C-alpha cells in the first residue's frame, strides 16, 4: 500500500488532548508517525490538508440500519455512504430490525450484507433477549462467536429483573458488553415530551425526567450484583448524573452515552409540533441539556452518538403523539457537534474523545487515535465553513433530520479508512 503524508494539518488528538498544527504519516493502512516535523520520504503520496482539521474517524454507536425488514428506510449501502460523508469510519449497528438480530444466522446475514455494501467498518450488535421481548436471553456465547460487538434490546427495557440479572451474569462470564436504555417503562409509556410547562401548554403526553434516573438506579443495583460490563445508551437528564457518578466512583464497570440531539436541541424545538424533533427519550429542558454538555466535558458521560434512526415520510407526517420517534444523524453528527465547539462549551479534543476515542476503547478497538500503530481511519474537515442544511442532499434513504434548513458551521472534506479515501466532498 502507498505511503501517505498528510501535511499542513491541524491535528486533533483526543488521546493526548491536543489541537496543534502538524503532519501525519500513514503506511500499510496504519499511522506510522504524527508530529510537527516529519520529513517527506521518497515515493510518498502527499496530501495537503490546507490547514484544516485532521482527526480520528468517528466511531458511532447505536446506528439503526433497517436491513432486514425495512430496507426502504435505510440500507447498508445508503447508511455506509452517509457515514463516510459524515466522517464516521465505524458504525455499530443496533439489532432492532424486523425480525430482531437475535440469532447467529441473522447476525451472519447482517455481517455479509455490510461487508458487501458498506464502505465503512460495520460492527453489528445482537439482541440481549429473543425478539427483544425481555422474556428469554439470547445465545450470547454463540452470538459472540458470530461477531456480535455488544448486546442490547435498544429502547425495549427488560422489565423482568430476573431475566435481566441472568443475562448480565452470563454476559460477564463471556466478557460481553451489555448496552441498556435507562428508563422506567411504566412512567415513560406513551410519552411524547418531557413533563413541564411546555408539554402542558402543547397538550402532549409527557414523562418526568425522574423516569430515567429510576431506570438507571435499577440497572446500577443489578450491576453491583453481577459485576457485568454495562453501557447506558442515552443519559439525557441532570437527575441521572449523580447516580452515574456514584456508580463510577464505586468502581462499577459502567460507561454512559448521550445523543447529539440531546446535546444540541431542547424541548422548545418541538414548537409547532414538528415531528422531525420527536426522538426517544424526548428532548429535555435547556437546564438538562447544559448539565449533559457539562458531563461530557468532565468525562462523566463518555460517548456521543448519533442514535441514527431512519423513519419514512409516512411515519413522520402524523399528529405529534402518533408520529414515529427518531432522526437520521450520520451526516449531521459532526456539524451539530461543532456547535458545541463554536459556542466554546467543548474543545475539539473533548468532542473527539467522546465521538472516537471512548467508543473505540469501550468496544476494544484500536481506532479512535492518532498514535503510531493505530488504523489510519481519519476525517479531514473544515470546522468553520458555514452552510444551510438541505435534508434532500443527505445520502440516507430517509431524510428525517431536525436540522433541515438550519445554519450549520463545519463540513467534512474527506474520509479515509485504513488510509484509503472513501469520501471526498465534491
Q: Does domain 4-53+376-424 match CATH 2.30.40.10? A: yes
Q: Is 98 helix (H, G, I), strand (E, B) or coil?
A: coil
Mean pLDDT, the chain, whole residue set:
96
Cell 504519516, residue located? 25
Angle at CA of residue 320, ends 316 and 154, nearest 5°: 65
Rg (C-alpha) for the chain, rounded Å, is: 21
Q: What is the DSSP string of 235-249?
A: ---GGGHHHHHHHHH
Average pLDDT in the 385-414 region? 97
| pLDDT, tens digit, 9 for 90 and up, residues 120-162 | 999 999 999 999 999 999 999 999 999 999 999 999 999 999 9
Return the pLDDT at 40: 82
Return the pLDDT at 37: 79
What are the beta bridge partners of residue 31?
A: 26
Among residues 420, 426, 425, 301, the alpha carbon closest in space to that of 57 is found at 420
Please report, for the chain, the start and end positions of each structural domain, with discontinuous segments joined by +.
4-53+376-424, 57-362
Same fold, 4-53+376-424 and 57-362: no
pLDDT confidence of 1, banded at 50, 70, 90?
Answer: low
pLDDT confidence of 165, banded at 50, 70, 90?
Answer: very high
Cell 458531563, residue located? 295
Instruction: Tell me how crowded residue 188 is: count the other CB atoms within 10 A of its CB.
Output: 21
pLDDT confidence of 279, banded at 50, 70, 90?
Answer: very high
Class of domain 57-362: alpha beta
Residue 122, phi then psi, degrees to nearest 5: -125, 125
Contact, 416 vs 30, CB < 8 A?
no
pLDDT confidence of 29, banded at 50, 70, 90?
Answer: very high
Residue 326 has pLDDT above 90, yes or no: yes
Cell 461477531, residue located? 147
Q: Which residues contact 294 (CB under 8 A, 6 or more apart)?
A: none
What pTM was computed for the model?
A: 0.96
Return the pLDDT at 265: 97
Residue 164 has pLDDT above 70, yes or no: yes
Return the pLDDT at 162: 97
Amino acid at each position: 500500500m502507498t505511503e501517505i503524508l498528510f501535511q499542513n494539518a491541524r491535528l486533533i488528538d483526543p488521546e493526548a488532548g491536543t489541537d496543534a498544527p502538524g503532519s501525519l504519516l500513514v503506511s500499510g493502512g496504519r499511522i506510522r508517525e504524527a508530529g510537527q516535523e516529519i520529513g517527506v520520504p521518497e515515493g510518498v503520496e502527499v496530501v495537503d490538508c490546507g490547514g484544516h482539521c485532521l482527526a480520528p474517524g468517528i466511531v458511532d454507536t447505536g446506528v439503526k440500519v433497517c436491513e432486514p425488514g425495512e430496507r426502504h428506510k435505510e440500507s447498508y449501502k445508503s447508511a455506509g455512504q452517509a457515514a463516510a460523508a459524515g466522517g464516521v469510519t465505524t458504525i455499530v449497528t443496533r439489532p432492532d430490525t424486523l425480525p430482531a438480530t437475535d440469532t447467529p444466522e441473522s447476525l451472519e446475514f447482517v455481517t455479509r450484507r455490510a461487508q458487501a455494501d458498506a464502505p465503512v467498518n460495520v460492527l453489528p450488535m445482537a439482541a440481549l433477549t429473543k425478539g427483544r421481548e425481555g422474556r428469554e436471553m439470547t445465545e450470547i456465547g454463540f452470538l459472540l462467536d458470530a461477531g456480535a460487538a455488544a448486546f442490547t434490546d435498544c429502547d425495549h427495557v427488560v422489565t423482568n429483573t430476573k431475566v435481566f440479572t441472568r443475562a448480565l451474569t452470563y454476559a460477564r462470564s463471556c466478557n460481553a458488553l451489555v448496552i441498556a436504555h435507562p428508563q422506567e417503562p411504566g412512567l415513560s409509556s406513551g410519552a411524547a415530551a418531557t413533563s413541564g410547562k411546555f408539554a402542558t401548554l402543547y397538550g402532549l403526553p409527557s414523562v418526568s425526567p425522574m423516569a430515567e434516573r429510576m431506570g438507571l438506579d435499577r440497572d446500577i443495583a443489578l450491576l453491583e450484583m453481577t459485576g457485568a460490563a454495562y453501557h447506558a445508551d442515552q443519559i439525557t437528564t441532570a437527575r441521572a448524573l449523580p447516580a452515574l457518578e456514584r456508580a463510577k466512583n464505586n468502581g462499577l464497570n459502567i460507561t454512559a452515552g448521550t445523543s447529539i440531539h440531546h446535546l444540541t436541541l431542547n424541548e422548545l424545538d418541538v414548537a409547532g409540533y414538528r415531528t422531525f424533533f420527536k426522538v426517544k427519550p424526548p428532548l429535555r429542558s435547556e437546564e438538562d441539556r447544559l448539565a449533559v454538555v457539562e458531563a461530557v466535558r468532565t468525562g462523566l458521560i463518555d460517548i456521543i452518538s448519533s442514535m441514527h434512526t431512519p423513519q419514512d415520510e409516512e411515519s413522520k407526517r402524523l399528529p405529534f403523539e402518533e408520529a414515529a420517534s427518531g432522526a437520521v444523524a450520520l451526516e449531521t453528527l459532526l456539524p451539530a457537534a461543532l456547535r458545541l465547539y463554536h459556542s466554546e462549551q467543548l474543545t475539539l479534543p473533548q468532542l473527539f474523545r467522546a465521538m472516537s476515542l471512548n467508543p473505540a476503547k469501550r468496544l476494544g478497538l484500536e481506532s479512535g487515535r492518532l498514535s503510531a500503530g493505530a488504523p489510519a481511519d481519519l476525517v479531514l474537515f473544515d470546522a468553520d465553513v458555514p452552510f444551510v442544511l438541505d435534508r434532500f442532499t443527505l445520502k440516507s434513504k430517509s431524510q428525517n433530520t431536525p436540522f433541515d434548513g438550519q445554519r450549520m458551521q463545519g463540513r467534512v472534506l474527506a474520509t479515509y479508512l485504513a488510509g484509503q479515501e472513501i469520501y471526498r466532498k465534491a
